[in-house]
Amino acid sequence: MTDPAEVKSDPDPASSDRRGLSPSLVGLIYCMLASFAYSTSNVFMTMLARSDVDPRLAIWGRETVTALVVGPYLLWLLVRDRETRPGLGIVLVLILVGLTTQVIGNISLMTALASLGMAGTIPTVISAILITTAVLGFVFLGERVTWKGLCAIALLCAAITVLGYGSTLGEASTPASTGPSAAVGSGGVAIDPTPVIKRVPIRAGIMLSCVAGTAFGLLTITVRGAMRRKAPKALVMVVITAMATIGLLPIILMGPGPKVFTTATGMDWWLMALGGVTNLFGFFFLNKGLETTSAVHASVTTSSQTAIAAVAGLFLLGEQFTIWLVIGVVMTIAGVVVIGEDEEELEASDDLS
């Protein structure tokens, strides 16, 4: 005869899920918040890309905000609790990936933003992130991709193609000189003949966007692995962002030199600070989401930046409206909905196994 107490202590997983949001869905919500925060940061970075601010200084200023804000908390945490001190291996991996992301990924992103605009750059970056996280997540983390996950990735890639096509149509339809807005093309390309961020051909801009996306995808895999090993979130945030503070400083000093710090205007520093604060929130939300959500699901959810970037470019940066933008946004929303359903089904199957 079964003890009633034993029956009561073994609740049905489905009924448990009905009492509140599952951890994986909470993770997706955090990833969506990260997407909004990162998109806001990208707006400020695009504004800097269109001014006379050196891209290395812009990245340095943005990332240094996180290191300065979170660094003291991490130091206090490590002094207070010895058990939170990480192993040397994970720190070295974070340093290596941080340098790759900050030096190669971010500079590639800034150059592409100056050449293609948000609507042209962000979709390509997101596409590379999706492919990188899907492949590396399976190889190194053993996280499988279901058919619904593949459908979501396909929807996002199609949305990326549509938004990119709409961006090129908008650029082609922009008059050469139409008053105050003539200084910036519809694709977000500064047409000042002597910009600090040099324009590159469209193909080179696309290649740089892919390089940036691959670096950011590698970062997502690394953060997911660190969260699975219960590494402190503050450690991940500080080490990754400090690699910009430490790694880019000598590049700045050997390149444009110390004068670049004095030539930046007060508004430029405000934009860097705002970009840094929103980037900090985005990184925090991403870390929280990756505690319970797979890398590829997190990447698909944060790829809603594609739609947010296109809309932000339209309303805030004067980029052109096309019907392709509407179609791309709708397809992006559909992809996020599909990945949410896939996350629920994966968690339900894990509960039953």
Confidence at residue 351, expressed as pLDDT on a 0 to 100 scale: 53
Residue type, 10: D
Q: Is 2 exposed, middle or buried (0-12, 13-18, 19+ CB in 10 A)?
A: exposed
CA distance 228 to 291: 7
> CA Rg, the chain, in Å?
21
CA distance 240 to 159: 30
Residue type, 118: M
DSSP for 137-201 reads HHHHH-----HHHHHHHHHHHHHHHHHHHHHHHHHHTS-S--GGGGGB-TTS-B--SS-SS----
**59 in helix, strand or coil?**
helix
Confidence at residue 246, expressed as pLDDT on a 0 to 100 scale: 92
Residue type, 212: A
Half-sphere CA count of 80, side-chain side, radius 13 A:
6
CA distance 322 to 132: 30
CA distance 137 to 130: 10
CA distance 151 to 143: 16
Q: Where exactly are the structural domains of the chain? A: 31-348
Largest CA distance in the chain: 86
Dihedral pair phi/psi, residue 178, rounded to 5°? -135, 55
- Tokens 């002094």 belong to 79
First to last CA, the chain: 26
As averages over each run of 10 residues, the pLDDT of the chain (353 residues) reads: 44 45 83 88 80 83 91 85 77 94 84 74 79 90 84 81 66 38 26 50 88 93 91 91 91 87 91 93 92 87 74 71 81 79 61 51
Which pair of structure tokens corresponds to residue 137?
């997540």
- Of the candidates 18, 32, 37, the one whose C-alpha atom is nearest the C-alpha of residue 339 is 32
- Of the candidates 199, 141, 128, 163, the one whose C-alpha atom is nearest the C-alpha of residue 319 is 163
Residue type, 284: F
Residue 152, CA distances (Å) to 11, 142, 171, 210, 320 in order: 32, 19, 28, 19, 27
